[in-house]
Amino acid sequence: MQLMENLLTIEAEAKYLLGLKDRSHERSLMKNLLKILEEAEFLFGPRDRSYDLRELRITECAYAQTYVFYPLRMTRIYLTSSSKAGGYLAAYELAHEAIHVLSPVPWGHGPTMLEEGLATYFSLKHVNRIYGLGLESVDEPKYEAARRAVSAMMAKNEFVIKELRVRQPVISKIDERLLIEVAGIEPHHAKLLCTDFDSYGRTPWSTNAARGAQRLVSCLRSIWEG
Protein backbone atom coordinates (compact mmCIF):
# COMPACT_ATOMS: atom_id res chain seq x y z
CA MET A 1 0.00 0.00 0.00
CA GLN A 2 2.82 2.36 0.87
CA LEU A 3 4.40 1.66 -2.52
CA MET A 4 1.16 2.66 -4.27
CA GLU A 5 0.96 5.84 -2.22
CA ASN A 6 4.53 6.67 -3.17
CA LEU A 7 3.80 6.05 -6.84
CA LEU A 8 0.86 8.38 -6.57
CA THR A 9 3.04 11.13 -5.19
CA ILE A 10 5.58 10.59 -7.95
CA GLU A 11 2.79 10.97 -10.52
CA ALA A 12 1.73 14.30 -9.08
CA GLU A 13 5.33 15.47 -9.06
CA ALA A 14 5.96 14.29 -12.63
CA LYS A 15 2.92 16.19 -13.82
CA TYR A 16 4.23 19.31 -12.18
CA LEU A 17 7.64 18.93 -13.80
CA LEU A 18 6.01 18.42 -17.19
CA GLY A 19 4.08 21.65 -16.69
CA LEU A 20 0.73 19.96 -17.36
CA LYS A 21 -1.29 22.01 -14.95
CA ASP A 22 -2.01 25.63 -14.26
CA ARG A 23 -0.71 26.18 -10.73
CA SER A 24 -2.20 29.62 -9.99
CA HIS A 25 -5.03 28.27 -7.84
CA GLU A 26 -2.61 26.11 -5.87
CA ARG A 27 -0.42 29.15 -5.29
CA SER A 28 -3.34 31.17 -3.90
CA LEU A 29 -4.33 28.29 -1.61
CA MET A 30 -0.72 28.14 -0.47
CA LYS A 31 -0.97 31.81 0.58
CA ASN A 32 -4.08 30.94 2.61
CA LEU A 33 -2.23 28.04 4.19
CA LEU A 34 0.59 30.32 5.33
CA LYS A 35 -1.96 32.63 6.99
CA ILE A 36 -3.64 29.68 8.70
CA LEU A 37 -0.24 28.45 9.85
CA GLU A 38 0.39 31.78 11.56
CA GLU A 39 -2.81 31.29 13.56
CA ALA A 40 -1.87 27.68 14.35
CA GLU A 41 1.61 28.71 15.49
CA PHE A 42 0.16 31.42 17.74
CA LEU A 43 -2.16 28.89 19.41
CA PHE A 44 -0.07 25.72 19.37
CA GLY A 45 3.56 26.78 19.09
CA PRO A 46 6.07 27.06 16.23
CA ARG A 47 6.33 24.90 13.13
CA ASP A 48 9.45 22.74 12.87
CA ARG A 49 11.30 24.76 10.23
CA SER A 50 13.96 22.09 9.71
CA TYR A 51 11.31 20.70 7.32
CA ASP A 52 10.94 22.56 4.05
CA LEU A 53 7.22 23.13 3.37
CA ARG A 54 6.73 22.74 -0.39
CA GLU A 55 3.93 24.27 -2.45
CA LEU A 56 0.72 22.27 -2.03
CA ARG A 57 -0.93 20.22 -4.76
CA ILE A 58 -4.58 19.55 -5.64
CA THR A 59 -5.45 15.93 -6.47
CA GLU A 60 -8.64 13.94 -7.03
CA CYS A 61 -7.92 11.87 -3.91
CA ALA A 62 -10.69 11.14 -1.41
CA TYR A 63 -8.76 12.54 1.55
CA ALA A 64 -6.40 15.44 1.95
CA GLN A 65 -3.01 14.29 3.22
CA THR A 66 0.37 15.54 4.24
CA TYR A 67 3.41 13.68 3.00
CA VAL A 68 6.57 13.77 5.02
CA PHE A 69 9.65 13.06 2.92
CA TYR A 70 11.72 12.27 5.94
CA PRO A 71 15.23 11.85 4.49
CA LEU A 72 14.87 15.10 2.53
CA ARG A 73 13.31 16.95 5.50
CA MET A 74 10.48 18.12 3.30
CA THR A 75 6.67 18.13 3.61
CA ARG A 76 3.95 18.67 1.06
CA ILE A 77 0.17 18.92 1.44
CA TYR A 78 -2.10 17.21 -1.09
CA LEU A 79 -5.68 18.53 -1.12
CA THR A 80 -8.79 16.91 -2.59
CA SER A 81 -10.72 18.23 -5.58
CA SER A 82 -13.26 19.76 -3.15
CA SER A 83 -10.67 22.43 -2.45
CA LYS A 84 -10.84 23.63 -6.08
CA ALA A 85 -14.01 25.57 -5.32
CA GLY A 86 -12.22 27.43 -2.51
CA GLY A 87 -14.50 28.54 0.33
CA TYR A 88 -14.93 26.65 3.56
CA LEU A 89 -14.12 23.20 2.14
CA ALA A 90 -10.67 24.37 1.08
CA ALA A 91 -10.21 26.23 4.37
CA TYR A 92 -11.21 23.10 6.31
CA GLU A 93 -8.65 20.93 4.53
CA LEU A 94 -5.94 23.58 4.83
CA ALA A 95 -6.50 24.11 8.56
CA HIS A 96 -6.51 20.34 9.20
CA GLU A 97 -3.27 19.72 7.29
CA ALA A 98 -1.65 22.82 8.83
CA ILE A 99 -1.54 20.90 12.12
CA HIS A 100 0.21 17.95 10.48
CA VAL A 101 3.02 20.18 9.18
CA LEU A 102 3.69 21.78 12.58
CA SER A 103 5.80 18.84 13.76
CA PRO A 104 6.09 16.22 11.01
CA VAL A 105 6.78 12.59 11.90
CA PRO A 106 8.01 9.90 9.51
CA TRP A 107 5.62 7.27 8.17
CA GLY A 108 4.60 4.74 10.82
CA HIS A 109 5.32 7.05 13.77
CA GLY A 110 1.94 8.71 14.10
CA PRO A 111 -0.28 10.55 14.08
CA THR A 112 -1.73 9.93 17.52
CA MET A 113 -5.33 10.63 18.51
CA LEU A 114 -3.97 13.86 20.01
CA GLU A 115 -2.55 15.11 16.69
CA GLU A 116 -5.51 13.97 14.57
CA GLY A 117 -7.97 15.32 17.14
CA LEU A 118 -6.16 18.65 17.26
CA ALA A 119 -6.23 18.87 13.45
CA THR A 120 -9.99 18.19 13.46
CA TYR A 121 -10.64 20.53 16.40
CA PHE A 122 -8.67 23.37 14.80
CA SER A 123 -10.16 23.01 11.31
CA LEU A 124 -13.71 22.99 12.65
CA LYS A 125 -13.01 26.02 14.80
CA HIS A 126 -11.33 27.81 11.91
CA VAL A 127 -14.19 27.40 9.42
CA ASN A 128 -16.75 28.26 12.09
CA ARG A 129 -14.94 31.50 12.81
CA ILE A 130 -14.20 32.54 9.23
CA TYR A 131 -17.47 31.41 7.65
CA GLY A 132 -19.80 31.69 10.65
CA LEU A 133 -20.93 28.10 10.26
CA GLY A 134 -21.66 26.95 13.82
CA LEU A 135 -20.67 23.33 13.06
CA GLU A 136 -20.40 21.27 16.25
CA SER A 137 -19.01 17.95 15.04
CA VAL A 138 -17.58 16.10 12.05
CA ASP A 139 -19.17 13.16 10.23
CA GLU A 140 -16.39 10.57 10.43
CA PRO A 141 -16.77 8.79 13.83
CA LYS A 142 -13.04 8.24 14.34
CA TYR A 143 -12.13 11.86 13.70
CA GLU A 144 -15.04 12.95 15.86
CA ALA A 145 -13.85 10.74 18.73
CA ALA A 146 -10.38 12.28 18.45
CA ARG A 147 -11.81 15.80 18.23
CA ARG A 148 -13.92 15.29 21.35
CA ALA A 149 -10.99 13.97 23.34
CA VAL A 150 -8.93 17.03 22.38
CA SER A 151 -11.81 19.50 22.90
CA ALA A 152 -12.31 18.24 26.44
CA MET A 153 -8.67 19.02 27.20
CA MET A 154 -8.66 22.39 25.40
CA ALA A 155 -11.78 23.55 27.24
CA LYS A 156 -9.65 24.08 30.35
CA ASN A 157 -6.74 25.81 28.61
CA GLU A 158 -6.69 26.91 24.97
CA PHE A 159 -2.87 27.16 25.00
CA VAL A 160 -2.18 23.76 26.55
CA ILE A 161 -0.64 22.36 23.33
CA LYS A 162 1.80 25.28 23.21
CA GLU A 163 2.79 24.53 26.83
CA LEU A 164 3.15 20.81 26.11
CA ARG A 165 5.31 21.51 23.06
CA VAL A 166 7.81 23.47 25.12
CA ARG A 167 8.62 20.10 26.73
CA GLN A 168 8.00 17.89 23.67
CA PRO A 169 7.83 19.81 20.36
CA VAL A 170 6.57 16.84 18.33
CA ILE A 171 2.81 16.57 18.88
CA SER A 172 2.61 12.83 18.17
CA LYS A 173 5.45 12.18 20.64
CA ILE A 174 3.69 13.85 23.57
CA ASP A 175 3.23 10.99 26.03
CA GLU A 176 0.73 10.13 28.76
CA ARG A 177 2.98 11.22 31.59
CA LEU A 178 3.45 14.70 30.11
CA LEU A 179 -0.28 15.06 29.42
CA ILE A 180 -1.14 14.17 33.01
CA GLU A 181 1.52 16.51 34.37
CA VAL A 182 1.07 19.56 32.11
CA ALA A 183 -2.57 19.31 31.02
CA GLY A 184 -3.78 17.88 34.33
CA ILE A 185 -6.06 15.31 32.69
CA GLU A 186 -7.07 11.86 33.96
CA PRO A 187 -4.84 8.87 33.04
CA HIS A 188 -7.54 7.18 30.91
CA HIS A 189 -7.98 10.42 28.94
CA ALA A 190 -4.21 10.72 28.44
CA LYS A 191 -4.04 7.08 27.31
CA LEU A 192 -6.74 7.67 24.70
CA LEU A 193 -4.97 10.77 23.36
CA CYS A 194 -1.67 8.87 23.02
CA THR A 195 -3.24 5.98 21.08
CA ASP A 196 -2.07 5.62 17.50
CA PHE A 197 -4.89 7.07 15.36
CA ASP A 198 -4.69 4.30 12.75
CA SER A 199 -5.10 1.52 15.29
CA TYR A 200 -7.92 3.21 17.25
CA GLY A 201 -11.16 1.24 16.72
CA ARG A 202 -9.57 -0.58 13.80
CA THR A 203 -11.87 -2.45 11.42
CA PRO A 204 -10.63 -5.80 10.07
CA TRP A 205 -7.57 -5.46 7.87
CA SER A 206 -9.30 -6.81 4.76
CA THR A 207 -12.02 -4.15 4.91
CA ASN A 208 -9.47 -1.40 5.28
CA ALA A 209 -7.29 -2.77 2.52
CA ALA A 210 -10.18 -3.09 0.08
CA ARG A 211 -11.35 0.43 0.81
CA GLY A 212 -7.85 1.77 0.56
CA ALA A 213 -7.23 0.04 -2.76
CA GLN A 214 -10.45 1.42 -4.20
CA ARG A 215 -9.55 4.93 -3.12
CA LEU A 216 -6.10 4.66 -4.61
CA VAL A 217 -7.39 3.45 -7.97
CA SER A 218 -9.73 6.43 -8.36
CA CYS A 219 -7.02 8.68 -7.05
CA LEU A 220 -4.43 7.44 -9.58
CA ARG A 221 -6.94 7.60 -12.41
CA SER A 222 -7.74 11.22 -11.64
CA ILE A 223 -4.08 12.14 -11.69
CA TRP A 224 -3.52 10.42 -15.05
CA GLU A 225 -6.61 11.97 -16.61
CA GLY A 226 -6.59 15.39 -14.96
Residue nearest to Zn ion (CB): 119
Q: Closer to Zn ion at the Cβ: 139 or 225?
A: 139
- Cβ atoms of 145 and 159 closer than 8 Å: no
What residue type is 160 in one-letter code? Answer: V
Any contact of residue 145 with Zn ion (CB under 5 A)? no
C-alpha to C-alpha distances, 163 to 66, 156, 159, nearest whole angstrom: 24, 13, 6
Closest Cα partner for 105 from 62, 144, 163, 66? 66
From the list 14-22, 48-56, 81-89, 114-122, the region that binds Zn ion by CB under 5 A is 114-122
**Least separation, in Å, of the C-beta of 111 and Zn ion?**
6
**Least separation, in Å, of the C-beta of 123 and Zn ion?**
9
Any contact of residue 127 with Zn ion (CB under 5 A)? no
Rounded CA-CA distance 85/202 in Å is: 33
Q: Closer to Zn ion at the Cβ: 119 or 161?
A: 119
**Least separation, in Å, of the C-beta of 127 and Zn ion?**
15
Rounded CA-CA distance 175/135 in Å is: 30
Any contact of residue 64 with Zn ion (CB under 5 A)? no
Bridge partners (DSSP) listed for residue 196: 112
**Least separation, in Å, of the C-beta of 204 and Zn ion?**
22
Rounded CA-CA distance 69/86 in Å is: 27
**Least separation, in Å, of the C-beta of 156 and Zn ion?**
24
Backbone angles phi, psi at 77, to 5 degrees: -95, 135
Strand pairing category for 65-69 and 52-53? unpaired
* Number of residues this chain uses to bind Zn ion (CB under 5 A): 1
**Binding Zn ion by CB under 5 A: which of 119, 161, 185, 192?**
119
From the list 21-29, 83-91, 112-120, 177-185, the region that binds Zn ion by CB under 5 A is 112-120
Q: What are the residues binding Zn ion (CB under 5 A)?
A: 119
